Amino acid sequence: MKRTALLATAASTLALATVLGTQAAATAAPVSAAPAAAPAAEQAAAVTKLTHSQATTRLRNAGVSWTSSGGCSNRNQSNCTSFEQVNLATIQGAETLKSASGCALTITGGTETGHASGTYSHWNGYKLDYSLSTCVNNYVTGNFTYIGTRSDGAAQYRSGAGNIYAKEGNHWDVLYYNCGGC
């Protein structure tokens, strides 16, 4: 956004605050000072979080299944599979993988405790784990770019959208920066 347009927008917001009072203006949509083509790192701050119920509804409708070794969805138990506070783009990424690959997908890990920490972590809603299958393995390795191994030895592949698929011992650990072309 050009500086003059940004200043005009700020002036309009100020005028709105004067007319409506500060309480009403506080509920108006915020003005973004970031340019329209902000880098992905800056856009990552504005993510939409889902509840477990919202996520499972979307996954079920897309034909994606999930399993839990503990048969539970409590985010604070490591033997559960939870989607509480998962990013919308992460669930959309699973939907995209399902539709693009045509493979049966089973999620084995979501936002539950017990995964590695970090900004782009399971807990923060950026990652899902999928069961290994011949179909998913062939789709990832045949369509995405091999980018080397992680420090733990997991082979990594980058999708065209920039998401990272790491083949760990018994599952795919997938980092979704975005919805994968949804």
pLDDT digits (tens, 9 = 90+) for 97-106: 999 999 999 9
Please tell me the distance from the alpha carbon of residue 113 to that of residue 149, in angstroms, as a whole number: 24
In a domain, 182, yes or no: no
Domain extent, residue 25, equals 3-33
Task: Specify the number of domains making up the chain.
Answer: 2
Q: Which amino acid is at 80?
A: C
Contact yes or no for 52/83 (Cβ under 8 A): yes
Contact yes or no for 135/167 (Cβ under 8 A): no
Report residue 182's pLDDT band, with 50, 70 and 90 as the boundaries.
confident
Same domain, 15 and 104: no
The two tokens of residue 27 are 């509920």
Please tell me the distance from the alpha carbon of residue 90 to that of residue 53, in angstroms, as a whole number: 15
pTM: 0.75
Same domain, 75 and 165: yes
Same domain, 70 and 137: yes
Report residue 45's pLDDT band, with 50, 70 and 90 as the boundaries.
low
